[in-house]
Structure 1
């Protein structure tokens, strides 16, 4: 490309292993190396993003930090090493050395990442300020990856210099860039969809390192030349070319960051989502570079400046179309799923279509524009290394600028700033041409008339109560037509509602009552705040709650204002749960971890062996840990991996149910720091001591049977259930890659998974209680567990009905049979008592018969006898 502008290459010598007379072969081999190198680079990016999330505290923070670190390192490598390569007689050796350095540092990180990330964790601290957190995130990641990213920045310029040596050949910048980017696409997809799920992060990084080392060896064998051309002399146009390169790098990655953020409100935000978005972005860039390489000769008649203006105008128009597609993203996704049907492949295809609509045309224009600017820079005497370095330096600034500082202004406004930036780079001649103004007018029209890109699902008859755009996520409170308020993160993840107060509160009350005398508690994850706030009802307890998103902390006040408690004893901290338990030196009698959605990016790391071990280190002697798990968002195979990870740290652990809900079943994994069993006497004393403060009766816990009756599995049963399921570890994130299957393509109802789970689990008093003896209490407890399982299974096919007689026809005999199994099982008693009250208004005789049956099934309960007495009095 640009053959007329390239200086003649020196004649090859006999020492060259591959004859220069075969330029086509050399170019083809170079492209193969560029594909392999690009694949390794983006494979690293996927691996390092997930590894960095473990100490940065959030997948979004890790994405921004790793992208900035990548481009910063690429820029530094190109700018510092580029001149040395330009003046070297053997650029192939530089290329090979860079590839080797990348591979060797990635191998070194296998051993160094643990201690280095631990030091960075300590440097960030348990509760960093936002400024300090982001500073360490960006600069710490940059320095950690620099020994690999700097040589990455020099590989493309080095190969460009190698090929520029071929006699009579130009410098195929666009072709090399396209090949390198195509390899990046393969690296993203291969790492995310194949390597990491199969073999984990470390082996994937090792595979990428092997590619780098192989590229180094092949380059030394295939390209060995003794001389090089002198660098070209810069012209007066050099400074302008560098400005365009830096600005377009900044705007291009800014557009990517913003689009990913907007689509997080529509896509499922799994590890696959990010891989798809990145792959489409790279595909478009590669296509644009390849198109430019092929069609440049036809465009040269236009003139370099005029062609640049046309590309800038086309890119601005393509971004406008991309913004319009974001505004219609929900409609596009629904239409795609309607065409494609159900299944994980269809769901991933729908996300791919969203990515194509937002990214493909803009990135094709970006790839062509970069290739053009690189060619123009060469014509101005600027080396390709310097052009690449300046472009990637601009790109490195984009994540903190667009993803942190400007994003709170609103994604639509900031995206239109990107469009305006592209238009502003055009020359005065372009602005004087009539063809330039329609794009500017369209941008202005879009700014005024287009809907906001804050995508929020508001049900019919509902309303939006609040919406905040934070650096890591958007947080909304939406009220439905029935007055139920729900907390949403990124419009996708429901964090609780005003209708789930009882269930949310029980997730605090149950573990609180299982500890004999807690004085300090830690809650990981806040959500609506109902769970942590409910714990403050215990006057002896100080409660710490950590939440990553400050916007969630602010929103929680809306849900906790109506709950009894002592806010003075609730200490809310903006912190990452993983990082907090690893860096804090405090000890806690009780730690309760929220039921984080396992499929969402980053959540799987809260269910790993390493995290569970860190929690164990924060437990005081005799302390208790409860990890809640959302079975309505979790398949049983993924649950097995989590259970096995939990038991690897807490072998003497149990499982409990938060409620008997069939729609949103939540189970808890419970263990004590010392592995000791539950003392029945301590449980009774604890219930008596909290009868007034915590009021367990209000949460359906009227005695020790109701409390201990929530257990569903003992240690042996959990071990058998987990079997040989793969451990969920930081290196092998099984949950992150397996859990999305259920999110994309649900294959069962939550109630069916709960009943299937109960069939696999079992518990006996001797697995739970300290020194149990065969007694009336243990017999009653075993009966209670049996009744509970029958109650859940009986509700599987019950259909809610307004007609009390028809409803009673479904549940009367099953519930009475359950009461005969365990007269203590109150959840089967109360529904029948309520139906008797409703029935008494339409059929007194039937109500009296039902109350009589209730009295016989549970004679110790006074409510049925009292209702019979009142009913008898009312009919006289």
Structure 2
């Protein structure tokens, strides 16, 4: 029954509350908590099938708001005229409990069908239409019931000498706050979606039965709305505000109020961690602000001017508060860091910083929003409008805000322009604009000054000597390309640097080539996530391979040519990228709906803490990928160990193995600070055939052979040497871990804590893995030459010792000191496994560094390397 528009505007009564009234407030509290909990549950379930594109996100939100408005409007008169409103309220709560629980059980079953119904690459009309009408139809009975519960509850407790309207708003909004925080921080992480839905249904059921028991046998006199709210209820002079103007004020306040929330969340997402907890905190601050403002209104309404002039002054305050909150957004990047500076780093300080930034930006305007809506609520009653009618108008307009502000104004005008237009919208709502004493002129002057003096409202961290190559305020995120002083370009999404750059090299090539070389003859490959486009265009250089790429943000696809030109020059970079069929779509929905099958599917490094990314690591998504593989196909899921803790990794591995029990792990690079792991599996082909791998590593095209060499994949040791764990080792590692799933989104709720306050370093996590994981040739290869298997086993053992050496060696700026520490250990590794070429990289680099000081030692070191690796040319090894 709670929306972000009308239902959240509240006030506390000045009248003394008795036991029966307190029971009504508790019902409103519980009902409000359930309303937000249901919204979180359904939104998460629907996004798994409809996608995380802005189309689907806004469609689900619009369907939810639309249902609330329909219910409040359709039942406004029948509830107002009912002599037994408790029966209505009880019945509505029972409907919410039954339909809500049934829908939460049904949606996971419908997920594949809904995704396929929309299609992999639908037209805009098909996508918009189905993404809106499918949720609207599925949710309509329950959201309509939610929209009518508050008017029914207010009607039940009306009378007894005082109205509980403001108090019920207050309790309902407090419940919404508790529901928001409780479901995100406690219920879903501990219980999962289905168990949380069951708890919500039980609470709705309890609310309905309690209302029926409390009002058993009670009949209320049937009276028109005006009788309950005389023409000057609470001192409000209704005659001064026409019904048409009142409807405009109700609609305008809903539209602009939610519009400001959309704007603030979009801007703050550039300075917060943008986790599920970030969104919960922002929403809680918004609800608390409106509640506090309306509570103040209840206490002070007797002192407020109730006519047009008083309402105009309130709207003037709202313009000033909006400008004040908006001004704080320019300092949000500094505000969010204050708690960490005061109390030290940690999860609590990080969350406090996000809440503080939200309080500065949303506190002042939402406080006045609550005051204004409380005034409008009394005006509506005085103008013989039902509470349901007022809520319907306000909520219906609020449903348009994400479309008009988020989709329309922010991409068109930028965040600064949208902020100014919202403030101007509030100013335009003022009755008697030009009248003296209306409070119009001061807000207008400040609005003009803000427009003239403020810079664009955006955050882009520039390195020394850096510049912005491109910037776009997209519908879902701000996307920029930033070049540093060395000419290296990097992709920023919401001011966060993404993996890869225009200087991307061997590691990024391996992310594409390593899984592709494990397949005997791939003809079609799918990349989930494009980023800078470097990895996908490496794959596209194979003329026999058709490459499809899926990227959620269209602005990222549009930025890819900048990196292609920087990496490969105007002609070659563009031609490789042009061979990629890039699709702007949600990866989960695309995998569900794509009609074609793929020989290789490669999933990018999705940061697990970011909102929505956890759904790409679930058992259900991995199963959908398996179904999209052609016979003998291979799936590789890349994982950035520096972005997750070990428990998050265990949950992802458990989900992967639940679908691919023969899954194995590879190490993309030997980096100690940014280690990248890969989970690989080929259903029906648990082990690889050595001759087929050798054939893949010797393509007839010279360009492809050179490309493989630049990625350190010259031979079978470069390829199979990346193996880090077999399926048995992974099974032991994941034993007892929570399987990340759609119902138990463990990663979504666990990964942010490792981002806010990591308990270990990437080096420590890597050491834990290499100490506990093991790999055997028999798990990777079909029976092969025993001599080769022994050499491969030695390679893996040496790789483990190489990593342990790096972890144990303290760095020193003096290359002579580093050579003294590393020369003999690394030469010893090469004696044990001459094929282990990574050990030569630091030795060659150190030889070059000491040559000006000790050329004899440098030459002797190079001769030793040549004796140990006679087949290796004396050139820099690109690995």
Q: TM-score, normalised by structure 2?
A: 0.92
State which of 199, 209, 213 in structure 2 corresponds to 1:207: 199
Please state how far the C-alpha of 1:699 moved relative to its aligned partner.
1.0
Q: Render the CA deviation track for 1:244-266: whole Å, top value 9, x for unaligned.
A: 11110111011111111111111
| Gapped regions of structure 2 (runs ≥ 5) | 1-14, 232-237
Aligned to 1:821: 832
Mapped to 2, the partners of 1:554 and 1:371 lie a distance apart of: 46
Tell me, what secondary structure is at the counterpart of 2:684? coil
State which of 646, 649, 657 in structure 1 corresponds to 2:667: 657
Q: Render the CA deviation track for 1:3-61: whole Å, top value 9, x for unaligned.
A: xxxxxxxxxxxxxxxxxx99732321111100000000011122222222212322866
State which of 839, 844, 867 in structure 1 corresponds to 2:850: 839
Alpha-carbon contact 1:526-1:545 (below 8 Å) kept: yes
Aligned to 1:759: 771
Mapped to 2, the partners of 1:46 and 1:59 lie a distance apart of: 17
Tell me, what secondary structure is at the counterpart of 1:669? strand
Please state how far the C-alpha of 1:680 moved relative to its aligned partner.
0.6
Tell me, what secondary structure is at the counterpart of 1:253? helix
Please state how far the C-alpha of 1:304 moved relative to its aligned partner.
3.5
Is 1:489–2:471 an aligned residue pair?
no
Aligned to 2:4: none
Mapped to 2, the partners of 1:183 and 1:210 lie a distance apart of: 16
Alpha-carbon contact 1:98-1:152 (below 8 Å) kept: yes
Please state how far the C-alpha of 1:436 moved relative to its aligned partner.
2.9
Aligned to 2:347: 344
Mapped to 2, the partners of 1:190 and 1:23 lie a distance apart of: 27
Please state how far the C-alpha of 1:307 moved relative to its aligned partner.
2.8
Aligned to 2:688: 678
Tell me, what secondary structure is at the counterpart of 1:746? coil
State which of 765, 777, 783 in structure 1 corresponds to 2:794: 783
Moved more, 541-550 or 497-506: 497-506
State which of 155, 161, 164 in structure 2 corresponds to 1:172: 164
Please state how far the C-alpha of 1:801 moved relative to its aligned partner.
5.5
Moved more, 488-497 or 779-788: 488-497
Please state how far the C-alpha of 1:856 moved relative to its aligned partner.
4.4
Alpha-carbon contact 1:613-1:649 (below 8 Å) kept: yes
Alpha-carbon contact 1:78-1:388 (below 8 Å) kept: yes
Alpha-carbon contact 2:291-2:367 (below 8 Å) kept: yes
| Gapped regions of structure 1 (runs ≥ 5) | 1-20, 866-876
Mapped to 2, the partners of 1:758 and 1:163 lie a distance apart of: 65
Aligned to 1:479: 483
Alpha-carbon contact 1:851-1:864 (below 8 Å) kept: no
Aligned to 1:456: 460
Tell me, what secondary structure is at the counterpart of 1:148? helix
Task: State how many pairs are aligned.
Answer: 840
Aligned to 1:151: 145
Tell me, what secondary structure is at the counterpart of 2:91? helix
Structure 1 runs, 4 residues or longer, greater than 6 Å off: none
Is 1:160–2:154 an aligned residue pair?
yes
Aligned to 2:86: 92
Alpha-carbon contact 2:53-2:586 (below 8 Å) kept: no
Aligned to 2:268: 263
Q: Render the CA deviation track for 1:215-245: whole Å, top value 9, x for unaligned.
A: 0000000024223332135987222211111
Aligned to 2:743: 731
Moved more, 387-396 or 189-198: 387-396
Mapped to 2, the partners of 1:277 and 1:59 lie a distance apart of: 21
Q: Describe the shift of the 1:61–1:457 C-alpha distance in structure 2 as closer, same or farther (beyond 3 A).
A: farther
Please state how far the C-alpha of 1:501 moved relative to its aligned partner.
3.0
State which of 850, 857, 860 in structure 1 corresponds to 2:861: 850
Q: Render the CA deviation track for 1:549-583: whole Å, top value 9, x for unaligned.
A: 11111111111233456445321112211111101
Q: Describe the shift of the 1:549–1:748 C-alpha distance in structure 2 as closer, same or farther (beyond 3 A).
A: same
Aligned to 2:807: 796
Tell me, what secondary structure is at the counterpart of 2:852? coil
State which of 550, 561, 564 in structure 2 corresponds to 1:560: 564
Q: Describe the shift of the 1:252–1:568 C-alpha distance in structure 2 as closer, same or farther (beyond 3 A).
A: closer
Tell me, what secondary structure is at the counterpart of 1:461? coil
Aligned to 1:188: 180
Alpha-carbon contact 2:93-2:205 (below 8 Å) kept: yes
Q: Describe the shift of the 1:443–1:140 C-alpha distance in structure 2 as closer, same or farther (beyond 3 A).
A: farther
Please state how far the C-alpha of 1:848 moved relative to its aligned partner.
3.0
Aligned to 1:232: 225
Mapped to 2, the partners of 1:738 and 1:642 lie a distance apart of: 11
Mapped to 1, the partners of 2:353 and 2:631 lie a distance apart of: 50
Q: TM-score, normalised by structure 1?
A: 0.93
CA RMSD of aligned residues (A): 2.1
Mapped to 1, the partners of 2:114 and 2:471 lie a distance apart of: 33
Alpha-carbon contact 1:786-1:821 (below 8 Å) kept: no
Mapped to 2, the partners of 1:49 and 1:496 lie a distance apart of: 32
Q: Describe the shift of the 1:864–1:45 C-alpha distance in structure 2 as closer, same or farther (beyond 3 A).
A: closer
Q: Describe the shift of the 1:675–1:455 C-alpha distance in structure 2 as closer, same or farther (beyond 3 A).
A: same
Q: Render the CA deviation track for 1:56-88: whole Å, top value 9, x for unaligned.
A: 322866653443333221111111011110121
Please state how far the C-alpha of 1:604 moved relative to its aligned partner.
0.5
Mapped to 1, the partners of 2:369 and 2:387 lie a distance apart of: 17
Tell me, what secondary structure is at the counterpart of 2:500? strand
Q: Describe the shift of the 1:848–1:115 C-alpha distance in structure 2 as closer, same or farther (beyond 3 A).
A: closer
Aligned to 1:219: 211
